[in-house]
C-alpha cells in the first residue's frame, strides 16, 4: 500500500532545516545554577488533580465492542493484510479439525458480492448449550472472546489457533456473518450483524453432510485503503495472496485437500484451483526447488513421533549458494525459528561432520564444517506438531519449548545418519558441495580482510560517492539508492542534508542470485552499499565472545544496531532498465540483508510519470488514472504534457517536491508476506534456469498495462 508520509518526518524537515544547535555552557555562575535548580524544583511540583477525572470517565467495553473499536490489536491492520487475515482465522479453525483427524477437505470461495465462504467436512461446531454463557456453543464461539475448544478441554490436542478469538473477531469485523453447522444429521443456522446475533440458532432440517460453513461480508466501514490522493478506497480479496497461503497449508497437512474458487465476474468467474499433496512437505521442497538444479532426488524425508511431539522434516541440496530453511509449529510459520529449528541444525552439523571424518572428506587436522557451510544451497522444511506450544512474544514467531529441541535433535540425528549411510553416492556429492562452500567461505574472509585494509588506507569505511547526512540518528536518517550519476547529482542538490543521504549507483549491480558469496566483496557497487548502509554481521565465538563475520545469503544474524539508516529508499527510473536495477537491488537486500527488509526499513520511491502544465498551473501525475483526471479537469487547449522516463530529466527542485519531500512524496514499503514464496519468485526471476522464467513471463504478460521499451 502506498502511504503519504506526514507528521514525524515532515516535522524533522522543519525543525532541522536551519541546523539549530543548542550549546550548554558548563561554566555557569553559582547564581545561574541556583536559578536553574529552582526552576527544576518548580517543574517537579505535583500537578493538580482534575475533578473531572473520576470513576465516570472509566468506560467498560462489552462483548465485541473492543474489537470494532481497536481492530488493529486483533488483526494488525485494516488494510489488505487485515482483510485477508479474516480468511485465515476461519481457515485455521478448519485446519485444526484436520490436525485432529476429523477433516480432509476445505472449500474457500470468494463470492460475487465480495463475501467469503469457508466450508469444511469436520465434526461441526457443537450446538448444545455452554453452561458458562447460557448460549449455544455456536453462538458462544462467534460472540465471546477467548472461547473455544483449544484450552485443554479435550476438543483439540494440537492446534494452531491458541487464543480462541478467531471466529469472534471475524464476526465482530463483518457487516454480516452466516454460519451453518452440519452435525448429527441436522442443519443448524445462525446469522450475525456486526457481531450481534440476529436471532437464535435455528434447525433448518436434516442432512447427510458433516462440518461447518461460514460466510462473512467484511465491514466496509472498517476495511479500506488510501490512495496517493488520500482517498478512501474499497479493498478486495486478492487471488494470489489467498492461493499462496492455502497452497502452503496443503503442503503442511499431507493429504488435506483445499479448493479455492473465485466466483467474481470481474476477476474471472469460475476460476478454481485445488491444492492436494500426498507428499506433504516433501512436495513443498520439490515446489521450492522446481527452478533449481538439485544434487539428489527425491528430497530426504522423515517423520517420527516421540513423547506426543511429531517432527516432520524434508531437505534437499541444490547447486545454489543461498540457504532456504522454513520452520513451522502446528502450521504456524515461525519466522524466527526456535527450539525445533535449533535441534535440527545441531543434528545436521554434527552428523555431516562425523560422516565427513568417517569418509576422509575431512582430515583429522582439518577445521570442521560450520553450520553455514553445510546449509549452503540447502532447501529444508521443518514442521512439528506440539500439544502445548509456548511462543516467545505475541507474534508467535519463535518457539520456546525446551523439550522440543531434544526431541527434534534426536530424531534428526538418527534419521540423517541412516540416510547418509544408505545413499553413499548422493552423500558424497553433498559433501563435495559442502567442502566447496567451506573453501569459498575462507576465500571470502580473505577478500573481506583485503577490503578492510584498503578502506583503512583510504581513510575511512564509507564510500567516497556517498553524500551523507549531518544527523547520525538512524531512526531519523534515510538514504536514497539512486540510479546513475545524473540522477544522483539532482538528488544531492535537492535533498535535505540534515537527514537525507544519497548513494549513486553506476549501472546494473551484480546479480547476487548467481554468484558465490565471495564475489560480493569484489564488486564496487555492492561493496559501496555494504559500507554505506552499515551491514555488519555479528557472530558468536566458541569461547562465548562476539566477532564480526561476513555477509552470507539468508543469514539472519545481521547486527541492526549498526544500520546507519532506518529508511533505505530505492529510487530508479520508471522504465525497463530502472525496473531491472530495482529488482537487482531488492535481490541483494532480500538475500544478504533480509532483517533490513523484515523490519520494514526498505522502501521504493514513486517518482511522477507525467508533468502536466497549463499556464501557471502545474500538476504531477504518478499514474495514468491521475493523468486522465487532471486532463479532464483542465481541457485540451494549452495543456503541455511531459513524460518522465529518467530521474535525470528532473530539476533538483522538481525531484525534491515530487519524490523526496516527506510532506508530499509517496513511498511504497517493501514487505514479505510469505518468505518461502518470495524465495521462490526471486529464484525464478533471477536464477539460472531460463525455461521457468519464460513460462512465468508468458503466464503473467497480460497483467502488464504499460511497457516502456
The average pLDDT across 211-226 equals: 92
The average pLDDT across 521-535 equals: 89
pLDDT of residue 74: 83
- Has residue 596 got a pLDDT over 90? yes
Task: Tell which phi-psi region holds residue 124, choosing left (phi > 0), alpha (psi between -120 and 50) or beta.
Answer: left
**Residues 351, 347: Cα–Cα separation, whole Å:** 6
- Has residue 573 got a pLDDT over 80? yes
Look at residue 181 and give its three-state secondary structure.
strand
pLDDT of residue 265: 83
pLDDT of residue 463: 84
Percent of the chain with pLDDT over 70: 80
**Marked catalytic residue, from 573, 598, 677, 679:** 573
- Has residue 616 got a pLDDT over 90? no
How many residues are there in the chain? 709
CA-angle at 660, arms to 655 and 663, nearest 5°:
120
Task: To the nearest 10°, report the CA torsion of 156, 157, 163, 169.
Answer: -30
What CATH number belongs to 462-607?
3.40.50.670
Element (H, E) at 318: none
pLDDT of residue 237: 94
The average pLDDT across 241-247 equals: 94
C-alpha cell at 321: 549458494
**Residues 132, 485: Cα–Cα separation, whole Å:** 70
pLDDT of residue 501: 96
Nearest CA to 462 out of 532, 520, 551 is that of 532
More confident residue, 580 or 299: 299
- Has residue 460 got a pLDDT over 60? no
Grade residue 497 by pLDDT with cuts at 50, 70 and 90. Answer: very high
**Residues 94, 99: Cα–Cα separation, whole Å:** 9
Q: Which of 77-81, 132-136, 233-237, 689-693 has the lowest mean pLDDT?
A: 689-693
Grade residue 709 by pLDDT with cuts at 50, 70 and 90. Answer: very low
**Residues 440, 321: Cα–Cα separation, whole Å:** 10
- Has residue 698 got a pLDDT over 80? no
pLDDT of residue 5: 45
pLDDT of residue 172: 93
The answer to whether 450 touches 473, Cβ cutoff 8 Å, is no
pLDDT in tens, 347-386: 999 999 999 999 999 998 899 999 989 999 999 999 999 9
Burial of 455 (0-12, 13-18, 19+ CB in 10 A): middle
pLDDT of residue 615: 85
Tell me what the pLDDT averaged over the chain comes to: 83
pLDDT of residue 345: 96
Radius of gyration of the chain (CA): 29
pLDDT of residue 175: 95
The average pLDDT across 332-336 equals: 88
pLDDT of residue 470: 95
Sheet containing 617-621, strands listed edge to edge, beginning at the edge strand earlier in sequence: 617-621, 610-614, 640-643
pLDDT of residue 650: 83
- Has residue 187 got a pLDDT over 90? yes
The average pLDDT across 127-131 equals: 91
125-131's contacts with Cβ under 8 Å and 24+ in sequence apart are 125/179, 125/181, 125/183, 125/212, 126/183, 127/181, 127/183, 127/186, 127/188, 127/201
The average pLDDT across 528-534 equals: 92
What CATH number belongs to 281-440?
3.30.230.10
Q: What is the SS3 string spanning 582-639?
A: HHHHHHHHHHHCHHHHHCCCEEEECCCCEEEEECCEEEEECCHHHHHHHHHHHCCCCC
The answer to whether 90 touches 216, Cβ cutoff 8 Å, is yes
**Residues 429, 435: Cα–Cα separation, whole Å:** 10
Provide the whole-model pTM. 0.73
Strands 225-226 and 232-233, how do they pair?
antiparallel
Domain coordinates in residue numbering, the chain: 65-275, 281-440, 462-607, 610-656
Q: Is 522 noted as a catalytic residue in this protein?
A: no
Percent of the chain with pLDDT over 90: 48
The average pLDDT across 520-543 equals: 81
**Marked catalytic residue, from 354, 575, 649, 674:** 575
More confident residue, 495 or 545: 495
pLDDT of residue 92: 92
The average pLDDT across 15-36 equals: 38
Grade residue 21 by pLDDT with cuts at 50, 70 and 90. Answer: very low
Grade residue 703 by pLDDT with cuts at 50, 70 and 90. Answer: low
176 - beta bridge partners?
193, 217
Q: Is 577 noted as a catalytic residue in this protein?
A: yes
Q: Which of 87-91, 272-276, 535-539 has the lowest mean pLDDT?
A: 535-539
Q: Is 575 noted as a catalytic residue in this protein?
A: yes
**Marked catalytic residue, from 483, 513, 657, 679:** 483
C-alpha cell at 705: 498495462
Look at residue 80 and give its three-state secondary structure.
helix
**Residues 663, 643: Cα–Cα separation, whole Å:** 23
- Has residue 661 got a pLDDT over 80? yes
Q: Is 573 noted as a catalytic residue in this protein?
A: yes
The answer to whether 321 touches 376, Cβ cutoff 8 Å, is yes
- Has residue 150 got a pLDDT over 90? no
DSSP state of 47: P
pLDDT of residue 514: 78
- Has residue 507 got a pLDDT over 70? yes
CATH topology of domain 65-275: Heat Shock Protein 90 (3.30.565)
Element (H, E) at 572: none
The average pLDDT across 556-569 equals: 91
C-alpha cell at 556: 539472519
Amino acid at each position: 500500500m502506498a502511504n503519504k508520509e506526514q507528521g514525524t518526518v515532515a516535522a524533522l524537515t522543519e525543525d532541522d532545516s536551519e541546523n539549530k544547535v543548542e550549546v550548554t555552557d558548563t561554566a555557569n555562575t553559582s547564581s545561574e545554577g541556583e536559578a536553574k535548580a529552582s526552576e527544576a524544583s518548580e517543574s517537579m511540583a505535583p500537578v493538580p488533580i482534575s475533578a473531572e477525572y473520576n470513576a465516570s470517565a472509566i468506560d467498560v467495553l462489552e462483548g465485541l465492542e473492543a474489537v470494532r473499536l481497536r481492530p488493529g490489536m486483533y488483526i494488525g491492520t485494516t488494510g489488505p493484510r487485515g482483510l485477508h487475515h479474516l480468511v485465515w482465522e476461519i481457515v485455521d479453525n478448519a485446519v485444526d479439525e484436520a490436525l485432529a483427524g476429523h477433516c480432509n477437505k476445505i472449500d474457500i470461495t470468494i463470492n460475487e458480492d465480495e463475501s467469503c465462504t469457508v466450508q469444511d467436512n469436520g465434526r461441526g461446531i457443537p450446538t448444545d448449550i455452554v453452561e458458562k454463557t447460557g448460549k449455544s456453543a455456536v453462538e458462544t464461539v462467534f460472540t465471546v472472546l477467548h472461547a473455544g475448544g483449544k484450552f485443554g478441554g479435550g476438543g483439540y490436542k494440537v492446534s494452531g489457533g491458541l487464543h480462541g478469538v478467531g471466529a469472534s473477531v471475524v464476526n465482530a469485523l463483518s457487516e454480516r456473518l452466516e454460519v451453518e453447522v452440519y452435525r448429527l444429521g441436522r442443519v443448524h443456522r445462525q446469522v450475525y450483524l456486526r457481531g450481534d446475533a440476529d436471532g437464535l440458532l435455528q434447525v433448518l432440517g436434516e442432512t447427510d453432510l458433516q462440518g461447518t460453513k461460514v460466510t462473512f461480508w467484511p465491514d466496509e466501514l472498517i476495511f479500506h485503503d488510501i490512495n496517493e490522493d488520500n482517498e478512501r478506497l474499497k479493498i478486495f480479496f486478492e487471488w494470489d495472496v489467498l492461493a499462496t497461503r492455502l497452497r502452503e497449508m496443503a503442503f503442511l497437512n499431507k493429504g488435506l485437500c483445499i479448493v479455492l474458487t473465485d466466483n467474481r465476474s470481474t476477476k474471472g468467474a469460475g476460476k478454481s484451483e485445488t491444492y492436494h499433496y500426498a507428499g506433504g512437505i516433501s512436495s513443498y521442497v520439490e515446489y521450492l526447488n522446481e527452478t533449481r538444479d538439485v544434487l539428489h532426488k527425491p528430497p530426504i524425508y522423515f517423520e517420527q513421533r516421540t513423547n506426543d511431539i511429531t517432527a516432520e522434516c524434508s531437505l534437499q541440496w541444490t547447486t545454489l549458494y543461498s540457504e532456504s530453511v522454513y520452520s513451522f509449529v502446528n502450521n504456524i510459520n515461525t519466522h524466527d525459528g526456535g527450539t525445533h529449528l535449533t535441534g535440527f541444525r545441531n543434528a545436521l552439523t554434527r552428523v555431516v561432520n562425523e560422516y565427513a571424518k568417517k569418509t576422509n572428506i575431512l582430515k583429522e587436522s582439518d577445521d570442521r564444517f560450520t553450520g553455514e557451510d553445510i546449509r549452503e544451497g540447502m532447501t529444508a522444511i521443518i514442521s512439528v506438531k506440539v500439544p502445548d506450544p509456548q511462543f516467545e512474544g505475541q507474534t508467535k514467531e519463535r518457539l520456546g519449548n525446551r523439550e522440543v529441541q531434544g526431541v527434534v535433535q534426536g530424531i534428526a540425528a538418527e534419521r540423517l545418519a541412516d540416510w547418509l549411510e544408505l545413499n553413499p553416492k548422493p552423500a558424497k556429492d553433498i559433501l563435495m558441495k559442502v567442502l566447496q562452500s567451506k573453501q569459498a567461505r575462507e576465500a571470502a574472509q580473505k577478500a573481506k580482510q583485503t577490503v578492510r585494509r584498503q578502506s583503512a588506507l583510504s581513510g575511512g569505511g564509507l564510500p567516497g560517492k556517498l553524500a551523507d547526512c549531518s544527523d547520525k540518528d538512524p531512526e531519523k536518517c534515510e538514504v536514497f539508492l539512486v540510479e546513475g550519476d545524473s540522477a544522483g547529482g539532482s538528488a544531492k542538490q535537492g535533498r535535505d542534508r540534515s537527514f537525507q543521504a544519497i548513494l549513486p549507483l553506476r549501472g546494473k549491480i551484480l546479480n547476487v542470485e548467481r554468484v558465490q558469496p565471495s564475489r560480493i566483496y569484489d564488486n564496487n557497487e555492492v561493496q559501496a552499499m555494504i559500507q554505506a548502509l552499515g551491514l555488519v554481521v555479528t557472530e558468536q565465538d566458541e569461547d562465548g565472545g562476539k566477532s564480526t563475520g561476513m555477509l552470507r545469503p539468508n543469514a539472519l544474524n545481521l547486527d541492526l544496531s549498526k544500520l546507519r539508516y532506518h529508511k533505505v529508499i530505492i529510487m530508479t527510473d520508471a522504465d525497463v532498465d530502472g525496473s531491472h536495477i530495482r529488482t537487482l537491488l531488492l535481490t541483494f537486500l532480500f538475500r544478504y540483508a533480509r532483517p533490513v527488509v523484515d523490519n520494514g526499513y526498505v522502501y521504493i520511491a514513486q517518482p511522477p510519470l507525467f508533468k502536466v502544465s497549463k499556464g501557471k498551473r502545474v500538476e504531477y501525475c504518478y499514474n495514468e488514472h491521475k493523468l486522465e483526471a487532471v486532463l479532464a479537469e483542465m481541457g485540451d487547449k494549452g495543456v503541455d504534457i511531459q513524460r518522465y522516463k529518467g530521474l535525470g530529466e528532473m530539476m533538483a527542485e522538481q525531484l525534491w517536491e515530487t519524490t523526496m519531500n516527506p510532506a508530499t512524496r509517496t513511498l511504497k514499503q517493501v514487505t514479505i508476506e510469505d518468505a518461502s514464496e518470495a524465495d521462490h519468485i526471486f529464484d525464478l526471476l533471477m536464477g539460472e534456469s531460463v525455461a521457468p522464467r519464460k513460462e512465468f513471463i508468458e503466464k503473467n504478460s497480460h497483467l502488464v498495462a504499460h511497457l516502456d521499451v
